[in-house]
Amino acid sequence: MSDFTIERPVPFYEKLYHSIKKMIFEGKLKPGERIIETQLAKDFNVSKSPIREAIRILEKEGLVIVDEKSRVMVYQPTLKDVEEIYFCRMALESFAVGLVTRMAANAELDEIEKTLMQTEQAIQDSQANDTIITLNDLFHSLIIQYTQNRRLQKQLNDLRSLMYFFRVLNFQGENRAEIILNQHREIFDCMKERNAEQASQAMIKHLKLDLEHLTEVLSNSLEQTKP
């Protein structure tokens, strides 16, 4: 008898969750904007029940906030939030990249390098920002995956949606794709040389520069919204 798999049908609320999440990442639902469940239900031509379930998942991931009056709003990052999350990333990802530099198989390093080549090609081809951001995300994700440390992976995966949200915001500005790619290359060059300490320091440097740029983006945004 031949092997076969039965694909699990995707629940409708899960499809809505991905659609609303995409709207947040694309800026169609902006930080601080109130989400009206009845309007979303009307837009998607569904009842409010699957919308509420999708919102519940987004709230768990930190992408939406439900206040004491049960009003749903898109998460609006504060400078303190950003600093706290980036400090967590510096601690965890610097350890992760050092670990992978020491223990990764050559084939795994080749896979990481492949993402850099794909990113470079995407930039040269002037592909959409979301394609390049996804490749940037993959660079970090592969490093985390190759640690083979489930507890470390869980701690970073709990922040995954907010980290991606920050990556989208961090892409604002001139030559951001090239700047981030060059920083990723610096990290990978250390990994390829199997220099764990330098790879860890390069990761910390990259995340510090990301934090500085994102802080500037958010500060400018706050200035523009002042009356």
User: What are 62-108's pLDDT values in tens digits?
Assistant: 999 998 888 999 999 889 999 999 999 999 999 999 999 999 999 99
**CATH classification at residue 60:** 1.10.10.10
Q: 154 and 129 share a domain?
A: yes
Final residue before a domain boundary, out of 53, 74, 95 = 74
Taking the C-alpha atoms of residue 177 and residue 137, their distance in angstroms, rounded to an integer, is 12
Q: Could you tell me the CATH number of the domain that includes residue 144?
A: 1.20.120.530
Residues 115 and 149 placed together within one structural domain of the fold: yes
Q: How many structural domains compose the chain?
A: 2
Q: Is 91 in the same domain as 65?
A: no
The two tokens of residue 137 are: 């995300």
pLDDT in tens, 96-147: 999 999 999 999 999 999 999 999 999 999 999 999 999 999 999 999 999 9
CA distance 174 to 172: 7
Q: What is the reported pTM? A: 0.85
Segments forming the whole domain that contains residue 162: 79-225
How distant is the alpha carbon of residue 105 from its chain centre? Answer: 25
Burial 4-23 (b: 16+ CB within 10 A, else e): eeeeeeeebbeebbeebbeb
Q: Across 9-13, 80-84, 186-190, 219-223, which has the greatest mean pLDDT?
A: 186-190
Q: Do 119 and 201 share a structural domain? A: yes
Q: Are residues 112 and 211 in the same domain?
A: yes
Is 112 within a domain? yes
